Structure 1
Amino acid sequence: MPIRTNRGRTAVYRRLWGFPLRSPRHLVGTLVFLALVVTALGIGLPKVLGKPAAAQTGAAASSSAAPHTGVAAPVPSTETLPTRLTQPLVTPTSAAPSPEAVNVARQWANAWVRHPAGISNADWLNGMRGLTTDEYLPVMSTVDPGNIPATKVTGDPTVVESYVSSVKVVVPTDGPKLSITVVKTDAGWRVSDYDQAS
């Protein structure tokens, strides 16, 4: 039955607009419904129209920003760029171990095991400061010297890997063996990492 009076139309409109405000459940339901409608439109419209909205706005912006010289503007290429590396990764070349790098590893290991009872982290770290890279010092500042199980170096360093700008050395201690990585920096050879050797 059609609505014939303005008063009847107003009542219908008031019921429609007032529906979300009747209860919290109605409000949440209306918001969820509106979010679904907006999402469906955002996904469906570009598929129906055949072009993504971002491409349309980008093309419109570039065409409006380009000066009109009477020459047709070049059409952007839709060809995709290659996703893999075109140049192979270069493997570092091995080199004879630097005696200076091995000596730095030995000195660093001697400083690492030197931690008398009650020594602070700062005092312990000062013994290695000139032998450690600036980037690795903050990592070393988190080490508690009281937790180090070794107290002395028990043998000569052994070179495990040697490259032009880095050397990995294993130093035996009375605790675990240390695997020390020494790198060449502008200031000379410095320790950039250490771990327990297997």
Structure 2
Amino acid sequence: MSIESLEYLFLCLSTLISLVNPLGMAPLFIVLTERFEPNDRISIAKKGTLTATLILIIFALLGTYIFKFYSLTIEAFRIMGGIIFFRTGLRMLDAQISRGRSTPRETEESMESDDIAVSPIGIPVIAGPGAITASMILSGEARDAIDYGILIFTIMFTMILTFFVFRGANKLSARFGTTGLRIIQRIMGILLMVIAVQFMINGVTVVLVNIFS
């Protein structure tokens, strides 16, 4: 594997894990599934992560075509994505759960239907706007088939990690405590903000070069 591919692998992993934020979402998963039995919680976690995996892979594979269809540039998405990621990272730094996940009304309706695995767990708790945008941006950053393979692998790896975190959410919450989970969330928030700034720098640099060249 080339240096460029390794760099792309690290970019995909750090971006997706920071945005999906399994540890930060574990307390929310506990709250949403508190009335279910342990075996049902595992089934919900499995179905939710499978749903999110499908959504993220679809957007990753269709990212390039969406750019072409709407005549969008990767630079525009870098700048827009950077703004979204920075805002999400700032909320994580304040140890707040991202508001872009689901409304109380959506959660209530999902709970009434006894099918919270797809929504709100799968979408938008796991595959939120930030993660979907990241899949499209990272797809645009891919140079060849190897990079696309890396992107699909990192999506699947992140979802497997999320499944196991949600599966052991109660144990993790008891072991780390609320303070520990918030500290981890803040660290991931800082990392996400750095990635966001770099995305914006890359996008703005290309735009300025095109304007003044």
Shorter-chain TM range is under 0.3
- Larger RCO, structure (CA 8 Å, separation 6 or more): 2
Relative to total residues, which structure has the larger helix share, 1 or 2? Answer: 2
Give the TM-score of the pair, scaled to structure 1. Answer: 0.23
